[in-house]
Amino acid sequence: MPKLNQIIAVEKGVKSKSFQELTQAHQDLQKPALLAGISRTYQPKDEEGEQLPPESTRVQVKAEDVLRATAATLTKLFDVTATKDWANRTACADVTVDGQLLLAQVPVPYLLFLEKQLTDLSTFVRKLPVLDTAESWNLDPSTDAWKTEQVRTIRTKKVPRNHVKAEATENHPAQVEVYYEDVPVGYWTTVKFSGALPARRVNELQERVEKLQQAVKFAREEANATEVTDQRVGEAVFGYLFR
């Protein structure tokens, strides 16, 4: 008996072939010249008249023939697709991660859905924000966020100072230069907070997604190895449509 993965492999080719043949049939039926034929003979009025050969054009396309060919082509597609879909109702497999059963007897369509979702989740996890590794972070229970240790820094203020470059004399005033000096006036105590994640947490999540992706692929391959029963539905459909 054929297996589901063999039917899936064949389905694509049958689909492509039936599409090409259906397109060609549609185009042929839109060309009046292919459907038309003629036969005519010439008879002069008298024996002295000019003799002309008969003319004929054969009908090249018959609509009923096209219908029969179309039915035959689509019957193959309908049967292959039915075989796949009927098998998908029963083909299933367990999803197991690290020897632990995660999902039991999952059908193929849902395994395909899971694969797509896990691909999107993998992209999502890779873009999660990560804590700045230049800082030392600890989880703060009161805010449920990560925070750094306190860092104390000096706050300074520029205070003007006078520098006497030349003392005053009887004839000249003193030459004074004003400059500014940074004078400590207080202290800042800073604690940084962050809602990002430690790198190890992000790496752990990525590893879990990858493991589950692998497990789902294995399950799909196992499910697709299920033996199938050929379905014959096309003949019933086109026996009704084109009879």
| Domain limits, the chain | 1-91+231-243, 93-135+198-225, 150-190
Please, which residues have CB within 8 angstroms of residue 150's CB and are 6 or more apart in sequence? 189, 190, 191
CA-to-CA separations, 10 to 5, 84, 221, 237, 240, in angstroms, rounded: 9, 10, 16, 21, 26
**How many whole angstroms separate alpha carbon 217 and alpha carbon 31?**
49
Residues 79, 82, 87, 89, Cα dihedral to 10°:
-170
Spell out the alpha helix ranges (H) of 56-188: 63-88, 108-126
Does residue 47 register a pLDDT over 90? no
Nearest to 213 by CA among 115, 92, 133, 139: 115
Q: Are 11 and 81 in contact (CB under 8 A)?
A: yes
Q: What's the mean pLDDT in 152-169?
A: 86
Q: For residue 209, what are its two tokens?
A: 């997604």
Q: Which of 77-91, 152-166, 169-183, 202-216 has the highest mean pLDDT?
A: 202-216
pTM above 0.85, yes or no: no
Name the burial class of residue 226, with classes exposed (0-12), middle (13-18) and buried (19+) by CB atoms within 10 angstroms of its CB. middle
Q: What is the pLDDT of residue 243?
A: 82
Letter for the amino acid at 84? K
Q: What's the mean pLDDT in 66-85?
A: 93
Q: For residue 49, what are its two tokens?
A: 């008249």
Q: What is the pLDDT of residue 166?
A: 77
CA 219 vs. chain centroid, Å, equals 20
**How many whole angstroms separate alpha carbon 51 and alpha carbon 31?**
33
Does residue 170 register a pLDDT over 80? no
Chain-wide mean pLDDT for the chain?
92
Q: For residue 9, what are its two tokens?
A: 């492999």
